[in-house]
Amino acid sequence: MNLFILSLITFLIPVGVLAIGLLDIYANRNRGISRNLFSAFLFAVLSFFLFNLMTEVEMGEVQILGFVVLLPFSFLAAPFLLMYQKSLMGNKSKLLGKSGIFWNFIPSIYSVVIVVIGLSVFSVQEVNEILTTQRLNSGDTTKIIARFILISAHVLWYIQLFWYNFKIRNVFRSQKRKFGKFYAQYEERNENLMNRIVIIFMMVGVYDLMFWIVRVRNPYLMIMVNVLFGFALAYMIVAGREQIDIKRYRMYKLDSHLHELDEAHPPEGYKKLRSKKKLKKSKKTA
Which CATH architecture does the domain made up of 3-255 adopt? Up-down Bundle (1.20)
**What pLDDT is stored for residue 174 in this prediction?**
81
**What pLDDT is stored for residue 187 in this prediction?**
78
| pLDDT surpassing 70 at residue 99 | no
Alpha helices in 99-257 (DSSP H): 106-121, 124-132, 141-179, 185-208, 219-255
**Closest to 243 measured CA to CA, from 177, 193, 182:** 193
| pLDDT surpassing 50 at residue 273 | no
pLDDT tens sequence across 142-163 = 888 888 888 888 888 899 899 9
**Rg of the chain in Å (alpha carbons):** 24
Report the distance separating Cα 17 and Cα 48, nearest Å: 13
Report the distance separating Cα 152 and Cα 85, nearest Å: 28
Mean pLDDT within 190-217: 88
The pTM of the full predicted model, rounded to 2 decimals, is 0.82
The rounded mean pLDDT for the chain is: 80
Contact call for residues 96 and 104 (beta carbons, < 8 A): yes
| pLDDT surpassing 80 at residue 254 | no
Report the distance separating Cα 108 and Cα 66, nearest Å: 14
Contact call for residues 72 and 47 (beta carbons, < 8 A): no
Alpha helices in 10-140 (DSSP H): 12-26, 33-56, 64-65, 71-74, 77-88, 106-121, 124-132
Report the distance separating Cα 175 and Cα 38, nearest Å: 20
pLDDT tens sequence across 15-51 = 999 999 999 998 877 778 889 999 999 999 999 998 8
Contact call for residues 237 and 25 (beta carbons, < 8 A): yes
Name the residue ranges covered by the structural domains of the chain: 3-255
Confidence at 230, pLDDT banded by 50, 70, 90: very high
| pLDDT surpassing 70 at residue 97 | no
**What pLDDT is stored for residue 217 in this prediction?**
80
**What pLDDT is stored for residue 270 in this prediction?**
39
